[in-house]
């Protein structure tokens, strides 16, 4: 079986038998492609590679600055899952036994200051075209509601309850949570729905066009939901325009609002519900972010710090 056929078979196995999400299956597919490229470069294949080849691949990944230790850990998880697949479906043994999980410290989430968020907002609001208003709606919703980017791109119009001032969000594991809309978000969203969304739909698909998703784009005359990649590119463009050096992504916006809420007195249980985390331990990392900032403020502002 050729490599691309094996990858397709593995992806189908992940979706159908392992019940993985599409995003997870795509990530595993990408990981394996890198592994196969490495093997080919070193004149090996899945039948001839040994444990040291897998370990060497993981070491080569850690040496690349743009790849974090968590990603390397996922690469190993991918290879181990692939090994199970190979054994069950093709009677091929991949020597993963004894390969250790890369160790890493739990990094603090990157987040923007409230001033940087304000700068992003001001710049996003400057574009008053229909597409610009759509983008501004996306920006304010991602930050104000702390949404995951996948939750945003999958939002349907029937999940928005403007009269009640709420929005229903489908999170990980198809778990639903209801979030209140602030007056600012409510006004922006209402304007987008009443004035802009229908205008974009007619422009891109004609008078009879329809789309259930709240946000969409048009490619080759076909209206379809926005992708996570498109929204990530939007934030990178905004960050560059206002002079923010660090990488700004939808997830950074989510981390930012969580940190800002905690700094303004929100408790962890409220934050857990707001973000849609199953385990409260997941949100406890934000207390470390807050303490880091407190330490910085103490060192620079306290009269007895020196």
Return the active site residues: 148, 172, 251, 254, 277, 286
Hey, is 171 helix, strand or coil?
A: coil
Let me know: does 214 contact 157? Beta carbons within 8 Å: yes
Give the CB-side neighbour count of residue 139, counting CA atoms within 13 A: 26
Where does the chain have alpha helices with state H? 3-16, 22-41, 51-62, 69-90, 114-126, 130-145, 149-153, 183-191, 197-205, 228-241, 250-263, 268-275, 285-301
Question: How big is the chain by its Cα radius of gyration, in Å?
Answer: 23
Q: Locate 51 and state its tokens.
A: 């444990």
């Amino acid at each position: 079986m050729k490599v691309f056929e094996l990858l397709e078979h593995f992806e189908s196995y992940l979706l159908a038998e392992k019940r993985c999400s599409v995003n997870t299956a795509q990530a595993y597919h990408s990981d394996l492609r890198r592994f196969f490229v490495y093997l080919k470069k070193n004149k090996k294949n899945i039948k001839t590679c040994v444990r040291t080849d897998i370990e060497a691949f993981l070491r080569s990944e850690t040496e690349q600055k743009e790849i974090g230790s968590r990603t390397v850990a996922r690469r190993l998880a991918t290879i181990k899952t692939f090994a199970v697949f190979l054994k069950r479906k093709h009677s091929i043994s991949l020597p993963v036994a004894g390969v250790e999980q890369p160790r890493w410290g739990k990094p603090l989430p990157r987040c923007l200051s409230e001033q940087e968020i304000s700068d992003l907002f001001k710049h996003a609001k400057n574009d008053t075209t229909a597409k610009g208003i759509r983008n501004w709606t996306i920006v304010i919703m991602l930050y104000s509601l702390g949404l995951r980017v996948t939750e945003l791109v999958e939002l349907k119009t029937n999940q928005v309850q403007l009269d009640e001032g709420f929005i229903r969000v489908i999170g990980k594991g198809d778990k639903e949570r209801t979030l209140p809309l602030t007056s600012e978000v409510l006004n922006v969203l209402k304007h987008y729905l009443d004035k802009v969304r229908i205008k974009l739909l007619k422009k891109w698909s004609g008078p009879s066009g329809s789309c259930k998703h709240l946000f969409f784009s048009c490619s080759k005359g076909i209206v379809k939901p926005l992708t996570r990649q498109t929204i990530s590119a939007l934030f990178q463009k905004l960050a560059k325009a206002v002079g923010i050096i660090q990488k700004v992504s939808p997830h950074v916006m989510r981390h930012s609002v969580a940190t800002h809420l905690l700094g303004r007195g929100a408790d962890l249980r409220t934050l857990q519900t707001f973000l849609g985390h199953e385990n409260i331990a997941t949100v406890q990392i934000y207390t470390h972010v807050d303490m880091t900032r407190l330490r910085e403020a103490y060192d620079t502002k306290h009269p007895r710090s020196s």
